Structure 1
Amino acid sequence: MRSRSIAWRLALAFAVVCALVLSAIGVFLYRSLDSEIAYRDDLALLGRLEQVRALLADSDSLGALQARPRLYQNMLGNLDSLLLVRRADGSNVIAINPRQRELPPLNAIAREQTPQRRDVLTWQAPDGAELALLSGEAQGPNGEPLTVIAGKVLTEREQMLASYRLRLYLAVGLGALLAFALGLVLLRRGLQPLRQLSAAVRGIDLRSLDQRLPASGTPAELLEPVQAINGMLARLDDSVQRLSQFSADLAHEIRTPLHTLLASNGQALNHPRSTAEYQELLASNMEEFERLKRMAENLMFLARAEQAERALDLRTLELHEVGNELCDYFEALADDRNIRLENALHGELLADQQLLQRALGNLLANAVRHADESTLISLRRRDEPGVCWLQIHNHGPVIAPEHLGKLFDRFYRVDPSRTQPGDSGGLGLAIVQSIMLLHGGQVRVSSDASGTVFELGFVLSQ
C-alpha cells in the first residue's frame, strides 16, 4: 500500500480550512446583501406610499390624476412595481399593474399612521412570483376616502441574489483550489530540509558511523530529532568500536591458551615421555581448560547481564555476615601472602545476595592478588545521602591515572604479563560493573600512596 504524502494531506487540510473560512465570509456577505436589499425595497415602498398620499391630497381632482398615467409609470421606473389607488366602492382611480396580478385582501394602515417596515407584507402569487405589498388609507382632493396599494415583484431581487450565490460558490471553489495548490508548493519547499536530512541519513553506513547530521541551518522543528539521531549515532559508533575491540581482545585471549595447548600436545606426540611427564602435561592442560571455561562462563554472564535476562532476587542482607563469608573464603589465599583481612561492614542492604557476593568476591580476589605482602585488606561501609558505598581497601602498587578509567573494560589488564592461575581473563572487573548496572548503582576506583580503593555504590530506597 502506497504511503500517503504528508504534503498532500496538509495541503488538503489547508484547502478545507480556507474553504470553510471563505464560506463563512460568503454567508455573512450574502446575508448582509440580502438584508440590505430588503431594507432598501421596504424603504422604497414606504416612501412611495407617502408620495402618493401627498400627491392625492395636493391634487385638484381625481380626473386630472387619471389623465396622466405616464407620470406614475415613470415614477415607478420598472415593470416589476405596481401602484393601485382605489375608491371605497372598489373602483380603481389609478391602476398600474403590468402583470395584471390578482392581489390578496390587504389591511390598509390609517391615514394618520406613519407606515413602518413591519407593515410591508410578503405574498406568493399563483404564478410563483413573490411580491412585497404595502396598503394605506389616503384622502382625495374633495376629502374622498381612498386606498393606496404599493407593491414590487421580488423577482429581480431573487435573480440578483442567485447570481451572487453562484459567484460565491465559484469564489469558494477557486479559493480552495488555489489554497491547495499554493499550500502544496509551499509545503514541498518547507519539507526540503527533511528530504536533505533523509539523504544524509541514507549516506551513513557501518563504515561511516563517525559522521553526524549537520545541525547548523536546520529548522527549529527538526533540530531536536537531528540531535537525537546524532546521539544515537554516537552510541552506535561507541558500541561498534567496543564490539570490535572486544572481538579482537577475545581472539587474543583465546589464542594464548589454545596456542599453549597445541604446542604442549604437539611436543608430547613428537617425543615419547614418561608417565609422570604425561600426568604433568595433562595437569597443565587442565589449567588451560579451566581458564577457557571461566572465560566462557564470564562472557555468558556479561551477555545475559547486558540483555537484562537475569531477574534480581532482591533481599535484605546483613552486610557483616556477607563480609565474614567472603573473608573465610579468601583466608587461605590471603595467608599464603601473609595478608590480613578485616571485615568492617555493618548494617543492612537490599540487594541480590549471589550477585553481591560475586562482585565483592571479584574485588577481594583482585585485592589479594595485587596487594603487597604483610598488609591489610579491609571491607568498609560509607554512607552518603541516598547512597551506600561498600569499599575494599588494599595497600599495593599505585595504579596510574591513565589506567583508572579502563579498569572495568573487558580483557583490560594494567600489566598483561602478570597473569596468574585463577585469573578471570580480564573480565572480573567488567562483571563487577555489570552487576552494579543491574542494581542501578555504580562502581568507582581511586589509587594513591595511601592505597587502592574500589567502591560499590548502591542507591538506598526511600
Structure 2
Amino acid sequence: MRSRSIAWRLALAFAMVCALVLGAIGVFLYRSLAAEIAYRDDLALLGRLEQVRALLADSDSLDALQARPRLYQNMLGNLDSLLLVRRADGSNVIAINPRQRTLPALNSIARDQPPQRRDVMTWQAPDGAEVALLSGEAQGPNGESLTVIAGKVLSEREQMLASYRMRLYVAIGLGALLAFALGLVLLRRGLQPLRQLSEAVRGIDLRSLDQRLPAVGTPAELLEPVNALNAMLVRLEDSFQRLSQFSADLAHEIRTPLHTLLASNGQALNHSRSTAEYQELLASNMEEFERLKRMAENLMFLARAEQAERALDLRTLDLADIGNELCDYFEALADDRGIHLRNTFSGQLFADQQLLQRALGNLLANAVRHADVGSVISLRQRDEPGMCWLQVNNYGPAIEPEHLGKLFDRFYRVDPARAEPGDSGGLGLAIVQSIMQLHGGQVRVSSDATGTVFELGFVVN
C-alpha cells in the first residue's frame, strides 16, 4: 500500500486546523449574534410593557382604548407579536393574539417594579413555536387593577439564525477546501529542496563516496540533517577505505606464509632429502601454520568484538596480582634480551580478567620486542578522578609522530621489515583497542626520546 506524501498529510492537517479555527470563530460569532438578537427582543418586550402601562395610566377610559384596536396593531407592527390586557376577572380589555394561542399562567411583575430581562420567559407553544412572554401588573384609568402580557413569537429569530448557521457551514467548508488546496501547492513547492536532496543522495554509490550533499542554499530546517548525512558519508568513506585497505593487507599477510609454504614444499618434492631435512622442513612449516592460526584467531576475536558478541565477565581484580602474573609470563622472553620487568600496579579494578590480561600482554610483548637491550619495562598506574590509567613504559627508539595515529590500525607496522615469526601479524594493538572499546575505555600512546608509553584508561566510579 502506497503511503501518502508528507505534503498531502500536512495540507490535510492545515485544512483541519483552518476548519477548527474558522469553526471556533463561527461559533463565537453565532453565539454573539444570537445573544444580541435576544437582547434586542427582550428590550423590545420590556419597552412595550412600559409603554402599555403608561398608555393605560394616561387614558380616559378602557372603553376608549377598546374602540381603537388598530392603534395597538400598528404599534406591534407584525403578526408575530401579541399583546393582552386583562381585568382581574380574566376578561380581556385588549386582545391582540393573531394566532389565537392559549397562553400559560405567568407570574406578573408588581406595578411599582420596573421589568428586568430575567423576567422574560420563553414558552414552547403547542405548534412548536417558541414565544417570549412578559407579564406585569398595571393600573387602569379608574384605578382598576389590570394585567398586561406582551409577547413575541421567535420564529423570525430562529429563521435568521438558521440561515446564518448555514452560511457559516458553507464558509467553513469552502475555507477548509481552499486551505487544503493552497497548503498542498505551497507545501509541494516548499518541499522542493527535499526532493533535490533525495536526488543528490540517490546519485551517491560506492564509487562516489567522496561526494557531499550541497549545504549552500539549503533551508535552515534541512541544514542539520544535511550536515549529519555529510558526516555519515565521511565515516562511510573512511570505513570503506579501511575495509579496502584491510582486505589488501590481509591478502598480503596471508600471501607471505602461503608463498613460503608452497616454495618449501615444492623444493622438497623436487629434490630427495634426508629424514632430518624433512623434519626441519616440517618444523618450518609448523611455524608458518602457527602464524596463520594466530592471525585467524585474532581476526575472529576482532570480528566478535566489533559485533559486541562477547559478554564481559566483569569482576573486581587485584592489579598487583595481574601485573605479577604478566611479569612472570614474559620473564623468560625478557631475560633473553637482558630486559628487566618492573610491576608497580596496586589497588583494584573492575574489569574482565581474561581481556585485561590479553590487552596488557599484547602491550608487554611489543615492549619486550622493541625495547633497548638491558633497559627496564615498567608497569605503572596513574589515577585520575573517574579514570584509572594503566601504563606500559619501555625505553627504546622513539616512534615517529606520523605513525602514532595509525598504530592501532589492523596489520599496521611501523617497520614491516621487522616482522618476526612470533608476532601478532600486525593485529596486537588493534585487539587492544577493541578490548578497551568493549570496556568503554580509552587507549593512547606517546613516544619521544625518553621512551614509549602505552596507556589503558578504565572508567571507575
Asked if TM exceeds 0.5, the reply is: yes
Taking a change above 3 Å as real, the CA distance of residues 408 and 146 of structure 1, as seen in their structure-2 partners, is closer
Partners in 2 of 1:403 and 1:14 — Cα distance?
59
Partners in 1 of 2:308 and 2:142 — Cα distance?
115
Q: 1:155 is matched with which residue?
A: 155
Taking a change above 3 Å as real, the CA distance of residues 94 and 248 of structure 1, as seen in their structure-2 partners, is same
Q: 2:9 is matched with which residue?
A: 9
Task: Map 1:189-228 to 2 at 5 A.
Answer: 189-228=189-228
Q: 1:275 is matched with which residue?
A: 275
The aligned amino acid for 2:127 is D
Q: 1:326 is matched with which residue?
A: 326
Partners in 2 of 1:327 and 1:123 — Cα distance?
106
1:175-225 deviation per Cα after TM superposition (whole angstroms, max 9, x unaligned): 333333333334334433333333333222222223333344444443443
The aligned amino acid for 1:357 is Q
Taking a change above 3 Å as real, the CA distance of residues 395 and 151 of structure 1, as seen in their structure-2 partners, is closer
Root-mean-square deviation (Å): 2.9
Partners in 2 of 1:345 and 1:442 — Cα distance?
18
- Percent identical: 88
Q: 1:349 is matched with which residue?
A: 349
1:132-190 deviation per Cα after TM superposition (whole angstroms, max 9, x unaligned): 33444555555565554433222212211221222222223223333333333343344
Tell me, what secondary structure is at the counterpart of 1:350? strand
The aligned amino acid for 1:179 is A
Taking a change above 3 Å as real, the CA distance of residues 453 and 61 of structure 1, as seen in their structure-2 partners, is closer
Q: 2:34 is matched with which residue?
A: 34
Task: Map 1:220-299 to 2 at 5 A.
Answer: 220-299=220-299
Give the gaps of 5 or more residues in structure 1: none
Q: 2:451 is matched with which residue?
A: 451
Partners in 1 of 2:418 and 2:37 — Cα distance?
106
Partners in 2 of 1:135 and 1:450 — Cα distance?
113
The aligned amino acid for 2:295 is M
Tell me, what secondary structure is at the counterpart of 1:417? helix
Tell me, what secondary structure is at the counterpart of 1:167? helix
Partners in 2 of 1:122 and 1:375 — Cα distance?
111
Taking a change above 3 Å as real, the CA distance of residues 302 and 75 of structure 1, as seen in their structure-2 partners, is same
Tell me, what secondary structure is at the counterpart of 1:380? strand
Tell me, what secondary structure is at the counterpart of 2:417? coil
Partners in 1 of 2:425 and 2:353 — Cα distance?
24
Taking a change above 3 Å as real, the CA distance of residues 132 and 279 of structure 1, as seen in their structure-2 partners, is closer
Taking a change above 3 Å as real, the CA distance of residues 90 and 443 of structure 1, as seen in their structure-2 partners, is closer
Q: 1:374 is matched with which residue?
A: 374
Give the gaps of 5 or more residues in structure 2: none
Determine if the alignment matches structure 1 residue 168 to structure 2 residue 168: yes
Partners in 1 of 2:242 and 2:132 — Cα distance?
92
Number of equivalenced pairs: 461
Q: Greater CA deviation, 368-377 or 127-136?
A: 127-136
Partners in 1 of 2:389 and 2:91 — Cα distance?
119
Deviation at 1:303, TM superposition (A): 1.5
Partners in 1 of 2:287 and 2:54 — Cα distance?
134
Deviation at 1:254, TM superposition (A): 0.9
The aligned amino acid for 2:265 is N
1:238-263 deviation per Cα after TM superposition (whole angstroms, max 9, x unaligned): 22111111000000111111112222
Task: Map 1:94-113 to 2 at 5 A.
Answer: 94-104=94-104, 109-113=109-113
Q: 1:391 is matched with which residue?
A: 391
The aligned amino acid for 2:355 is L
Determine if the alignment matches structure 1 residue 415 to structure 2 residue 415: yes
Deviation at 1:64, TM superposition (A): 4.9
